[in-house]
Amino acid sequence: MKSAHKSFGSVLLAVLALSLAAAPRQDDPRAEIVNLRNYTHANFTRVVLDIGTLREYTFGELRDPGRIYVDVLQAKLNPILQGQSYAFKAGYINQVRISQKTASTVRLVLDVDFSQIQSYRVYHLFDPYRLVVDIYPHGKEAPAGAPPAKTRPPGDKTQPAVKRKVDPNDPNFNGTSMARQLGLGVRTVVIDPGHGGPRPGTIGRSGLQEKEVNLAVALALRTLLRDKAGIDAILTRESDVDVGLDDRTVIANQKRADLFVSIHANAHRDRRRGGVETFFLNISPDPSVIELAAAENATSTKNIGQMKSILEKIVQNNKIQESKDLAEAIQKNLCRALARDLAGVQNLGVKGGPFWVLIGGEMPSVLVEISHLSNAKEEAKLKTKKYRDLAAQGIYDGIMEYVHSLGKG
């Protein structure tokens, strides 16, 4: 493998020298590719190429040795990525590498053993624009905690690889919500009960787990949306299972949801602190928001810092304003509803925060911290059906206020 790296590197250098010589310095039409990520899940491997700007791509297979390649057109590699390769322990995928194939084409290559692969998929996601390759090996059952069949992410093994071309007429491609752009109002809402399965989220002093509260509120909210408003409400999980943060918005995108609402309960070091806050995706300088986002993202505050480069690309997106509008409507109505059972419940306001689960969605997306599990009084309330139902009612009222503000509700 080492020698392969070496020769690959020298070929890359030659190609780079050519491409640098050929590349115009000004008005370069090429999108710069700055990030290559990969995740090894129990039953599949995901490779993500962050591009940021809409680009056409093609993909195919090569045999002997087995390779899957993806060519990104009108693209160039950031110097940091030049010559990068990633070795894998999984037998079915050995290595991922990336190179500037021609002056205007970047090629991603996955060295694979096709005899061990059941299927793979290549597709794109927006906000920021990125290409995803999911590879499923033979003989792997879905892991315990996989989402129910109805809400399976697009890595569904039964689906063949699909070659996709980018359609600039796709109403989602610039990030504007379908609701606004098509004037359709809101037909589908994806509700995301945070955490689940082996990830309980925050745990109150009496042992109440956040994942349970989130699910109960989400189920009640689904009933309200369906029965009272005739809105198609879909949950990212319907039981005590874990779903990856990326997969939660993948579900929302697949269902062409108009809104995405992630439901959580808060934790704060200061157990006296209580109240309600609602977030939309943004960079935040507030250390307490960064701390909360790190907990919700199940990552470190250091990684939050690394998200900044991705976030900077999306804050310009007009989806942010719509998300903020939705957050404000939910925050106001949620506080009003909860006050019926908890006098003086604190309104901590609407804030921007770097929450990973809010990144992938193509629709206005918010994360609601319905109350504090770390606060004994609020934990006691969160145990009760009454308070959970009021939380669902408040979020419902907020969604409906937002829908009416679109003028078509």
Which is nearer to Zn ion, 65 or 198 (by Cβ)? 198
How far is residue 264's CA from residue 137's CA, in Å, rounded to a whole number?
34
For Zn ion, the binding residues in 8-47 under the rule CB under 5 A are none
Q: How far is the CB of 179 from Zn ion (least distance, A)?
A: 26
Which is nearer to Zn ion, 296 or 389 (by Cβ)? 296
Residues, the chain, total?
409
How far is residue 258's CA from residue 188's CA, in Å, rounded to a whole number?
5
Which is nearer to Zn ion, 296 or 322 (by Cβ)? 296
Q: How far is the CB of 264 from Zn ion (least distance, A)?
A: 3
Task: Annotate each residue in 245-264 with x if it binds Zn ion (CB under 5 A) or - if it does not, as one string.
Answer: -------------------x
Among residues 66, 155, 201, 353, the one that binds Zn ion under rule CB under 5 A? 201
Name the residue with the smallest CB distance to Zn ion: 264
Among residues 83, 194, 275, 361, the one that binds Zn ion under rule CB under 5 A? 194
Helix (H, G, I), strand (E, B) or coil at 187: coil
For Zn ion, the binding residues in 260-289 under the rule CB under 5 A are 264
Contact 200, 298 (CB under 8 A): no
Helix (H, G, I), strand (E, B) or coil at 289: helix
Cβ-based neighbours of 321, under 8 Å, separated by 6 or more: none
Q: How far is the CB of 45 from Zn ion (least distance, A)?
A: 27
Q: Which stretch binds Zn ion (CB under 5 A): 90-98, 187-195, 353-361, 395-403?
A: 187-195
Q: How far is the CB of 200 from Zn ion (least distance, A)?
A: 9
Which is nearer to Zn ion, 201 or 274 (by Cβ)? 201
Q: Which stretch binds Zn ion (CB under 5 A): 80-88, 201-209, 252-260, 275-283?
A: 201-209
Which is nearer to Zn ion, 246 or 296 (by Cβ)? 296
Beta bridge partners of 52: 129
Which is nearer to Zn ion, 72 or 217 (by Cβ)? 217
Contact 257, 250 (CB under 8 A): no
Cβ-based neighbours of 377, under 8 Å, separated by 6 or more: 274, 342
For Zn ion, the binding residues in 289-348 under the rule CB under 5 A are 296
Which is nearer to Zn ion, 295 or 307 (by Cβ)? 295
Q: Show the tokens assigned to 244.
A: 């990856």
Cβ-based neighbours of 270, under 8 Å, separated by 6 or more: none
Cβ-based neighbours of 152, under 8 Å, separated by 6 or more: 146
Size of the site for Zn ion (CB under 5 A): 4
Contact 265, 201 (CB under 8 A): yes
Give 310-340 as a 3 state SS string. HHHHHCCCCHHHHHHHHHHHHHHHHHHHHCC
Q: Which stretch binds Zn ion (CB under 5 A): 19-27, 86-94, 167-175, 192-200?
A: 192-200
How far is residue 269's CA from residue 283's CA, in Å, rounded to a whole number?
22
Which chain residues interact with Zn ion by CB under 5 A?
Answer: 194, 201, 264, 296
